[in-house]
Amino acid sequence: MKILYDYLCFQETYGGVSKYFANMLKQFPVDVQYEISVKYTKNEYIKTLPKIKLNNSLDHINIRGKWRLLNYFINRNYSKIKLVSGNYDIYHQTHYNPFAYKYLPSTKKSIMTIHDMNFFVIPEAYKNNKTEKMLAEWQKKSASKANKIIAVSKNTKRDLIDIWNIPEEKIVVCYHGRDDISIENFDLTRKFERPYILFVGTRFIYKNFAKYLSAFKFISERNKDLILVCTGIPFNSFECNLINDLRLSNRVFQISVDEKEMPVLYHNAEIFVYPSLYEGFGLPLLEAMNAQCPIICSNTSCFPEICEKAALYFDPYSIDDMVDVTAELLNNSSLKVKLTEEGNKRKKMFSWKKCAEEHIGVYKSIMK
């Protein structure tokens, strides 16, 4: 059996979707072959796959429109060639663009993974954004064309059924996995001497960063040494202005870290906060559990499904509730220990090996 994956999710240097595919593929047995139709990329996760050979000779060349050249010309055309060749059994679409179905032979089966239904559940987070509107249209079109859909949570499966009336038998739930690490094996030297709350990843509107920042204003007034540490890209002008307006310039920091540094950053945090309005899974939740970091997160979408007793929950639309729940955990050391212990239990339900086995089961089911 051979699976063809497209280049779509591997266009960015980092990203939860590409991390999911790369970590899952590393667990495939030798009798399940795979190929990713990508020639040029700076994605960090695909580099960990031994079977993938990239040609990154353009890495150090800076020309106008380089990203578009690499992805819309080189990688797209390479993918078209691979699709038309038919040298695979199943095509697995990695993101929403349905370009591949024009080149997919009629004899080949297709699968797509849907990570969330945010465009349709919380459209207010994407209003007046033409790009997001196009992605939503692509997502729906792809779902109608795929032979099978993998949903990353039961919550996402319910959304697919309720919003698009997709037959239940077309959808299979396959949870993400987690890296198998022992935090004791890391150098636990702190990056910040002051106690901190950790916010990880992108800060798109649906991530609800701005609202939690307002909550942190009140929290910081009660905890004079406490800071908020954010990973990901540097703050944009809107975020910088908001931080300044809230007089938090000396309390909120952005830091760039690699995958090896993240477990220690989690472990040394007082709390990991995940205030998203809605998501399909939430890999950082498992990363926090792995690093023995207590979690507070939104009470919406998939979060209670993923964390169960391993988190405290708040209403992501309520600043007061965010403040109260954060304060409750900050001031209760025994509760921190309890949540960490629950996280140690809960994380055992998720592994990349199990994720890979479940995907292979889906592949085999549509080849019968």
Q: Please check the confidence at residue 266 and state whether its pLDDT lies above 70.
A: yes
Q: Is 332 exposed, middle or buried (0-12, 13-18, 19+ CB in 10 A)?
A: middle
Confidence of residue 226 (pLDDT cuts 50, 70, 90): very high
Q: What is the arithmetic mean of pLDDT over 201-219?
A: 95
Fold identical between 2-177+351-367 and 183-349?
A: yes
Predicted confidence at residue 323, as pLDDT, reads 98
Q: Can you give the residue ranges of every domain in the chain? A: 2-177+351-367, 183-349
Q: How many whole angstroms from its chain centre is CA 333?
A: 29
223, pLDDT greater than 70: yes
pLDDT tops 70 at residue 366? yes
Average pLDDT, the chain: 94
Average pLDDT over residues 341-355: 97
CATH code of the domain occupying 183-349:
3.40.50.2000
The structure's pTM equals: 0.92
Question: How many Cβ atoms are within 10 Å of 131's Cβ, its own excluded?
Answer: 8
Q: Which residue has the higher pLDDT, 283 or 129?
A: 283
Residue-wise pLDDT tens digits, 23-78: 999 999 999 999 999 988 888 899 899 878 887 776 677 777 776 777 778 899 99
Closest CA to 289 of 263, 314, 270, 315: 263
Is the predicted pLDDT of residue 128 greater than 90, yes or no? no
From the candidate CATH numbers 3.40.50.2000, 3.40.50.1360, 1.10.580.10, 3.40.50.720, the one assigned to the domain spanning 2-177+351-367 = 3.40.50.2000
- Residue 58: the pLDDT is 67
Find the helix or strand (DSSP H, E) in which 287 lies.
helix 283-290
Please name which of 348, 179, 340 lies closest in space to residue 268, comparing C-alpha atoms.
340
